[in-house]
Structure 1
Amino acid sequence: MFGHRVLLRTASLQRFSLSQCLPRARPLSRAASALTTSSSNRLTELAKGLKAAKASTISAIFPDFEKALAEAQGHPLQPPPLQQSDVVELVQKLAASGRPEHDHLIRKTLHLLPVIRVEPTIDMYAVIIQACVARNDLEAVAAWLIEMRKLPGNFKPSTAIFNLCLRDLAFRTFSGLKRAATPLKGRARCPLNADTFDILLQRSFQMSREANKPPFWVDVRWIFEFCRGDSIQWSQDTSTLIYNTFAKASMEDVGRELQSRYDSYKSNANVPASVWWEERLRNLRGQNDVGESLAQLRSMTDNADISEHTKLIGQVLLEDSMSVADLRLLDRELGPSHSTDRWAYVIENITRAAKADEAYSVYQAAKAEKVHITIQLVAPILREFSYIPSISDDIIERSLAVYRDLKSSCPPRPKQRDLSTETAEMYASLFRLISKYGNDKYYPVAQSLVEDMSAYGVPMQSKIAESLINIEMRRASTEEEAIQAYHRWKEFLAPEGYPQVLIRFSQLSFDSNPIPSLREYFRIVKDMQLAGPSRVTNKAYSIILTRIGMLASEMKREGTLTYELRDYFIDATRRAHDHLTLDSNITPSSYVFAQLINTYQRLDCFGDAYRVWQLMYLTGTHNPHSISNILDACGYAEDLYTAKAVWNRLSKDRYPFEFKHWQTWVECLCRCHQVQHAIKVVLEDFPQAGHDSFTLIPLLLKMATKERKLKYALETIQAQNPSMYHKIQTQLDIFKL
């Protein structure tokens, strides 16, 4: 229809060095003066602790390290507390865990590199992506590839790393691979080459064999669309493979058709001239602005060659440009040929920097310049608008105006069939915008968009079905209507679409019931199990448990949690617990059990929470979240005996407590009216574990204030640690006492 637009399995990471996949970084400047000996020694000790620590304990040391760095601000670090190899090892340990808080620490570490005078290297990013691929974390891989350009070093994803991820990440179906690859090609700007086509083709055929099914010709056609032009480099072996694979499945005609299409790229058997041109252009652009690069190019070659490669020239020279001036210059110098492509490049660059308003302004400039409106111009703007957290009328009206421009420019044709991924993604953005809007004002627009999709021959996609279910459930006045909305579109849902449907359904309230029927909820969960891998189903339990816990807490604060409602929530939680333990289709994750503890605690069901904790501890499945949650539960239940039993048992096991655990332990003791014990933990136990007591002082004083023991706490600290007391007195404004 309108025109054209990827994620990064683990078996063969060693075949490629990821260090070869990223360009080199720029050196950093030096700092100016000398650091005091005592501060330097403290910083060195903390750095040693970070280097020796396991991933689970790095988070406890890191705040002290950050603070020591802040104190050393303005002084040169001689030598730097961490070397490049130390940073590589540190981020590798954190990335291997896959925990969100460790991902946050990685980013903090990278942003501290200029402060500690360490130059960012490609290996730092290589080990992060390697760890994400090793644990098959598609979302993390995508996030890192997309963000890489904005993080220290400004590294760009390369073809080699993209191909590595396409080959080595695990996908249950080729459709899953397609859904992963498309956004990376677009948002992460991962370039393609001849190997990309071969990898996708081999994986398509491999998945067909593993599923004991004939090869799917639609997948191969998608590969042709995905890998256009010079990224398909012809070879006789690949040509024969395409035909033989389909011939073995008694699909000779399809094999011949696809082979013929592939053979049309036979001219690409040798290195295309465009490769040489691209290298020359990149060398010029690396040293000059757009205008100077073009001027030097004209002095090196004749106009006929330039005219032949206008598309490539625009693509390379505008690779990082966000300037309308650059666009107008190239339009003037190169003529109207491929002008739309050039404007699309710049709009894409701007949207990758999350500047939706600026992209919209460039689009308006393109209209003023009479640039032909295509999907390449429109889709990035709509996508970026749809990612804005709070959607206003103005955003939707501007988005719809852009879409109408596209419709006017490219009206539907009779019996049109548009299978391009970019078109489907554009409609997904529009439906996401409407689904995020606060009311039903744009419901008629959603209906008209469904009709437009039919007119253009755009097939229904999971993301679109997800948004439509969301929109229609929000309008439902009864639970039956909400379920009907789900059944109307559920056939189009992929496994990844179910969590959002469950979140929306769990937020519905009918007939004075704050949560919908669990019977219907778990019917949707059953559909979810049938649609995809069981690992997704753990999230289904987490969604309903989180919702119950949050509602209970909100109603407690507002004073609206009646005995009847509390009993209703408890019954719902226990039923969800029963489903979880009796569901033979899944292995409950430690995260779900930790959430179960949290929900029971919020409902004041300490006995239930402790039984879940006991099960986790005895089976060795307890995790950091469950430890924090059970200590929280002990504190709110004022059960000092059980709290001490939990802490002492874990201490005896030499469990590596994280900073969050120490915080929760101090809070728990104070809630159990044991401020004196909490002071001992902060002044004695915490430092013995290798941490700085002062990092827990604000929390201790806050909790002591709530217990009306602030004066006692300060007097005790003054008697036991005068230097700490003096430090508190000099920073009282921080504590807001």
Structure 2
Amino acid sequence: MLKLCIANVSATARYAGLFRTSEQRAHFVLGKRSLTTLSERETGIINQLKETHEKIDDAIKRKDVDDLSHYVIYLRKLLHTLPVSVRHQVSLDHLSFTGSHVNGMLDIFSTRISKEDVNILESILRDCKDIYHVEVNTQFLQSALRNLVRTGRQVQAYALINIFRRPNLPFRPNSIHWQIVMKGLAGVGDIERVKEGLNIMKNGWPFPRTTHYQALLEAMLRQKDPPSVDEISGVLDEMHSLNLPYDPGITSLLERHRQELRELTDKYKTRRGPAITGIHVQAWLQELVKARQRGRSPFDIKLQQLRRKGFIPDERSLANLVSLSSTSTIEELQFLQEVLEVKSNVVVWSILIRNILAKTGIRNALEAYQAAKDNGIRPDAAMLHPLLRVLCSGRVGEPSEAILDRALELYKDLNVDTQPSDKHTTGRERKQGADTSVYNTLLRALASSSNARKYFPIALSLLENMRERDIHMDPMTSTSIAILLIRSASTFEEAFQAYEQLRSVKASALDAKGYAAVLHAFCSLPVRAKPNDENSVDKHAEFAIPPAKEYFKIVQDMRAQGFPKTSEVYTILLGRYAALATRIRDVADAKQRVTATADLYGVIEETRRHITLDAGFIPDAPLLNQLMDAYNRIGAMDNVLQVWKLLNSMGRVTNASVSVVFDACGQNRAPDTANAIFHDLMEVQFPLNRRNWNTWVECLCRLNRLDDAIKVVCHDMPAKADEDSQPDEETVRTLVLFASKSDRVEEVRSHIKMYLPTLLPDT
């Protein structure tokens, strides 16, 4: 059953000193209505209401049923003499009843339960919410019935439960209410009322349970004339006809009172109802869904029919029903709980929240989540994660700080380790606390925020929580989270800290591809260089130099996990250094430019030493090309030639190698070296591609050999048979660009017009 607390519905606003004297007129605001002036008559009625309220309080204290009856009726009449427009607000402000008031009235009227008292009590119950602003619920009636039975007023308890069977009351008596009354009646041997109660239940709602029949047997066994074996057998047969399950309590009761019933109890133990499978239950639930679509009464009737077939609602069936019917309101869930007499567990609420998210969105889903907590549900990851996923989805830009803060508040609900797990689930115990999916969603959201100062430390603390709780992520997820966190760092130190924190969750969190991606993200981190930072390109540079020490610490971890060190490890870092070297050329301050170049040379040399000292590692051509290009970008011609010679000796010269060395010769004004290399390539008939030829043309131009460049473009390249050696627009643009520096553009254009007319650029 859904257990709710009696709540006093308080007014949303109070107006202190609203009425000063009977002569003065008070002002009253009603919702969005404009200010209204009360008449003297209405003011007088309100004063009478206050006095009547006090007299009701006094009658409750004195337990005077006559006075209470009189003043309750009078108060209702007084209130209804006021205009409808002010009645509700007046009751809110001046009829401050509580659950204890209504409990007191119920207890007093229960002392005699006359016809007149029943009518008054029914009126009170119907008016509780609208006039007295008290929510009367199942727990309210349960307490009242227990009190009556405990004080020896079983007949009054029976009368009270029947009052609640009347239509239009806040709720209907459930199985527990009937059990309290029947057990009380059985204690005094009142067989007739117990039987009458069972007949009411068999023909309506709720459906009787074995505990209700146990009360009947107790009443029978308390009679002066003990029941016959046939009479006892008749009760057991009726239970069997209703497909009620075996209850050891009934066996114990019969054996305790009548030893001669041993044969009967043995038969009861072995008697079983029809075999009910999951297929039966699923079909029955489908029938209930269709019945509910037709209304409440058809649902009650269908449930009664299914109960007679042996259907016993439980948490699993409630969860399946909520899922099949796509229940998406708290009110509908409350109805299902009430009628099925099953309290929702965390699984049921989880399904409801998912349904609400799909139909009406996050706002209503969060209200349902709060309602679940209010009803004693301890959230788990399966319940919370759908909310977090929608909150943090960031469909338009990054999640706002308000959303991130709300998500973190929800996450805290999963970190209450002092409460026991909710074992009442569908099939197996659900693990408490956050899981991988929760951490994944939160970490992605935090890492995507532009407010790294606020959320980066929180992200690291989440990783620490994962480590403490021994929660692991798969390599793909770990890689994704690591990259996001590294990119959200503001310094290389923070980026390395994020990597280490992730690795502390599980040393083998990353696979080979994951390490490569992390290394690339680390090198590509956009870090604003700090003033006086020894690793900065300059004080105004957009990027700082990636520290080789931390980089190779990551590489060392990769090796420790059994992943081989590939050329990619080095090319990632060297490629970054080469890109930074290009930026150095634009630094205006000569001193800063020289200092930055020296710094870069140092880290490139350190990387080369790692390559050289890496036992068993043989660098491939792409790596050596990248190393050569890095040296070229900082103008280290001697180092470029060393790598070029190594490539030659290993027989690993590629077209990319040729382009780099041609560019180095041109940039460093090395004509003899350029001629020698070109001659050697022609001698071995190395197949230059268009990119090589274009680089060679540019090299010749930089060496002030424009005539040779014109010959290459207009004669040598077109003479090649392969398409990939033919000049293109880029070739011509390079030639024209350098010709403009020596005022020879027209001369070059005339050559192009003669030999390559289709490539002649516009003037």
Please indicate the TM-score interval, normalised by the length of the shorter structure.
0.3 to 0.5
Greater radius of gyration (CA):
2
**Could you tell me the TM-score, scaled by structure 2's length?**
0.40
Quick check: which one's helix share is greater? 1
Between 1 and 2, higher relative CO (CA 8 Å, sep ≥ 6) is seen in 1
**Could you tell me the TM-score, scaled by structure 1's length?**
0.42
